[in-house]
Structure 1
């Protein structure tokens, strides 16, 4: 148990996931305030998703402790040396995926809050969100808010 607590409290990947979860939550709340669309169902779904992510990380950290997975061979040596990372287990792998998911959500919320964003990044993000989700406002939504 002590080993698990040490791993969870000192793992850089887990810390980054927690930072992105916090940032996404703040940006999501700001977006809801801006759009005047506070919806407890959406908030609860988001909270459940974030708790599920953190639960997966804890379970995968236990799996890594038991089986000692190391997937660092998949990462270039220069990256490992620059970051002082010696082991990448299943927990860290999923942390990377969760950070990517949260980063896209942060960018989406930042864009919909009206924060300035490079034009190329904004158009790629809009294209991605239009293809993959139904979260981008439509023209009729924009007209309603005026």
Structure 2
């Protein structure tokens, strides 16, 4: 039993090290991103369910988009590692962009579910998302 626990400790340490290498750190930004991604997916399902448009194909496509968000965070982290002077600025910018994007989507979903939307929250998220990627159609950014 002790060997099993020791093996689990090594596995957890290895997983933590891999995570830190790929995503930079388990900090407030990445925690916020995880929360926003999960919340957006849940509110998207709720919106689709209330509109009678629930679809496993659409849900799977949504999951793939969420996975791609984290792939882009990994890319930003690697670029930061390649440019030490960047000091995590690229990773942080990528994460903040997607926090804002997911947050605006959550607000949109909540609005379509009939909830009142706090203007200050929407304004703050719009300020975080200061620019849209040029090569992504606007309808795919929401």
Same-fold status (TM-score > 0.5): yes
TM-score by length of 2: 0.64
The answer to whether the Cα contact below 8 Å between 2:36 and 2:102 also exists between their aligned partners in 1 is yes
Correspondence for 2:49:
33
CA displacement 1:66-98 (0-9 Å, x = unmatched): 32243xxxxxxxxxxxxxxxx542111111111
Q: What 5-or-longer segments of structure 2 have no aligned partner?
A: 1-13, 127-137
Q: State the distance in 1 between where 2:45 and 2:85 align.
A: 37
Q: Which has the higher contact order (CA 8 A, sep 6+)?
A: 1
Shift of 1:19: 0.8
Correspondence for 1:21:
37
Confirm whether residue 95 of structure 1 aligns to residue 88 of structure 2. Answer: no
Structure 1 residues 119 and 22: alpha-carbon distance in aligned structure 2, compared to 1, 3 A threshold = closer
TM-score by length of 1: 0.62
Q: What 5-or-longer segments of structure 1 have no aligned partner?
A: 71-86, 126-131, 135-146
Q: Which moves more between the two structures, 58-67 or 17-26?
A: 58-67
Confirm whether residue 42 of structure 1 aligns to residue 58 of structure 2. Answer: yes
Q: State the distance in 2 between where 1:25 and 1:114 align.
A: 17
Structure 1 residues 42 and 69: alpha-carbon distance in aligned structure 2, compared to 1, 3 A threshold = farther
Q: State the distance in 2 between where 1:60 and 1:101 align.
A: 17
**Alpha-carbon RMSD:** 2.8
Q: State the distance in 2 between where 1:114 and 1:64 align.
A: 41
Correspondence for 2:132:
none
The answer to whether the Cα contact below 8 Å between 1:17 and 1:99 also exists between their aligned partners in 2 is yes
Shift of 1:38: 0.6
Task: Return structure 1 stretches of 4+ with deviation > 3 angstroms.
Answer: 1-4, 118-121
